[in-house]
Amino acid sequence: MKSVEEVLSGYFGRGDLIAALEAIQKEFGYLSSDHMRVVEQKLGVPLVDIHGVATFYSAFRLTPAGRHKIKLCMGTACHVKGSNTLKTYLEEKLKIKEGQVTEDGRFSLEYVNCIGACAKAPAMMIDGQVFGQLNQKKIEEVLEGFE
């Protein structure tokens, strides 16, 4: 794994801020306060501005994600087919809320507007793999397949 300084070696100034944060997140999986302090030093952007950008864009994580990232679709088609019930089920089964990580670090949970699998509603993605026509039993089977 590279150091934050190595990741930032090709980035300079405020104009590179978003790209620099994306590069750090790609390398480390999230943006810690220590990462942001290094960005402040290297790019010369005030920490308050860095934090503002990192919290404004939902693509940035400020906490580590689980080994497997669950994205439950809450779009119209999935909502009509019961994604709200599945949301409650996942929260109870995993004992976490959105943005949190399971105690064992196995899963993190996120709700998204659409994953582009409307024909398979209700659907979710885990690590980019789509699972559709979900119910509680199918979710349990899917989760068992992830270490």
Burial class (CB in 10 A: 0-12, 13-18, 19+), 51: middle
pLDDT tens digit sequence for 70-86: 999 999 999 999 999 99
54 with 21: CB under 8 angstroms?
yes
75 with 115: CB under 8 angstroms?
yes
Give the CATH class of 68-144.
alpha beta
For residues 101-113, give the mean pLDDT: 95
Domain boundaries, the chain: 4-56, 68-144
Cα distances (Å, whole numbers) of residue 96 to 93, 100, 125: 8, 6, 17
Q: What is the pTM of this model?
A: 0.74
Q: Under 8 Å CB-to-CB from 120, ≥6 apart: which residues?
A: 130, 132, 133
